[in-house]
Chains A and B, each alone.
Chain A
Amino acid sequence: MSNTIELLEAVGRDASLRHASGDDLAQALGGMGAGESLKQAAASGDRSHLVQEFGGGDVKVNHNVGQGGCDPAGDDSEHEPEDDGDEAGDTSHSSAGSRS
């Protein structure tokens, strides 16, 4: 696993590899000792080949409050969301707005 991570990092910081074609990248990775799953993932651009090595766990990417949602800074975040008057609540603690 650590070898795969190191190879991914090497690709990420190498201008000659980062935007290479899938076939060229797979060939380069083969020369660097990459496993079959990483070579297949690189050749196809499909991360699903790495699932067996790293698992396919669900990763949440939401970090923001969301407009109209509950304010985590409020006293009771289990309440129903503000059903909103005409104005948004205090947004001073809210983020500007997905993927950061």
Chain B
Amino acid sequence: MTPDTDRREPRGSIACVGLGMTLGSHLSPLARSYIEQSDVVFAALSDAIVERWLEQMHPDVRSLQPYYGSGDKSRAVTYREWVDVMMAEVRAGRRVCGVFYGHPGIFAWSPHEVIRVARAEGFHAHMEPGISAEDCLYADLGIDPGRHGCQHYEASQLLLYETPINPGAHLVLWQVGLVGDRSMKRFATGPEYRQVLVDVLSRDYPPDHGIIIYRGATLPIERPRIRHLALRDLPATDVAAEDTVVLPPAAPLRAQRAVRERLTELDRMAAESREHPSASHEK
């Protein structure tokens, strides 16, 4: 070791990890290790009790909740501030851990951004996945996304952009509780906004189509909240930010005859070459 290396500033780093959805049940050993080995922990969690749990893992846990502010503050500002406060510690040479509920990279802007910024400045940055609301949804509702296919959208995307829907697959809509908000200052929108969503969905689904409003368990003494209703009743139903709306398939899978015939022909040719290997080599 040279004297130079002795004088070298400690290099900061950041790891964004997921805490999973349910206290005590989902935190991976590696994510816990990142938390315990960091110098400072920043937390954006879904529950004040879960935040207390995290505080038992590290002596310096700083909640990101106060940055939301109140009233007229855009979440765009909040998310940028989250990146700034985390990067300030990274630049100071500290090992930073950003802890987010669920999976840190799903429906979360700041974890991706802070990793991008850190890497651009030459710091080591890493994302460690967590068990997400989506993962819990599949388990609690008994949905296999590979059976019919599964589409995920933030609900507002269906209102603001032309978004083709495949009614033959599951449709999972996130953040229905604030659908249609473009201000980034509100945390909920009203029944009239959900009516617009229903009107858009009614292009592909009948009004009596059965839908599910799902909320996973945050505390291990809780059960998932699963409500069944008709699509037409969504506007009059309370939907919180934590709720996710699932539309099961409304149409059967339709066979692609021409493509199937093409595959059949390929199968026939493959069988033929197995039966007459020399003939295929002569080609």
Contact = CB atoms under 8 A, between A and B. Distances in A.
B221 A97 contact: no
Interface string A71-93: 11110011001011000100001
B156 A65 contact: no
Interface stretch (B17-25, B89-97, B263-271): B17-25
A31 interface: no
Give the bracket for the number of chain A residues in contact with chain B.
35 or more
B199 interface: no
- Main SS at interface, chain A: loop
A35 B49 CA distance: 15
B153 interface: yes
Contact of B154 (A64, A84, A100): A64
A73 B159 CA distance: 23
Interface residues of B, number: 68
B77 A95 contact: no
A2 B220 contact: no
Interface of A: 1-2, 5-6, 8-13, 17-18, 22, 25, 38, 41-42, 45, 47, 50, 54-55, 57, 59-74, 77-78, 81, 83-84, 88, 93-100
Given A18-B25, A63-B100, A72-B109, 7 more contacts: A63-B109, A68-B182, A71-B76, A81-B182, A83-B182, A95-B109, A99-B107
